[in-house]
Amino acid sequence: MLRSLRQRAVTGSHEDPRVVRLRTAVSRLRRELATYPAEFPDRAIAEDELAALAAMVTRGVPEVPRLRRSLLLIASAIGSVSALSRGLSDVRDAVELFGRTPRR
């Protein structure tokens, strides 16, 4: 919490730092995917879900179940592409900042 307040003081932003981190991670992975030269079967799924995540974070704090669904689809689509693994890990770590999905 203190770190969050410091970040806000430094940047002058009142934006949720989790949203900022997720936006950054998604943007980075989208760029990496766009420049990845090889085609793979589920590339379009990964691109669509990353676009959906990017749209979610522009509207504020996204819903955790929707974040996790997108993460699962992205991971299954590009999980075996080792060149994208770091970017995928960054997105996963950013999603984890939003907490767990409530159990029913």
Asked if 68 and 92 count as a contact pair (C-beta separation under 8 A), the reply is no
Per-residue pLDDT of 74-92, as tens digits, reads: 999 998 899 999 999 999 9
Which secondary-structure segment (H or E) carries 26?
helix 17-35
Per-residue pLDDT of 1-41, as tens digits, reads: 445 444 444 455 688 999 999 999 999 999 999 999 999 99
Residue 70: partners with Cβ closer than 8 Å, 6 or more residues away: 49, 50, 52, 53, 56
Please state the pTM of the whole predicted model: 0.82
Asked if 75 and 92 count as a contact pair (C-beta separation under 8 A), the reply is yes
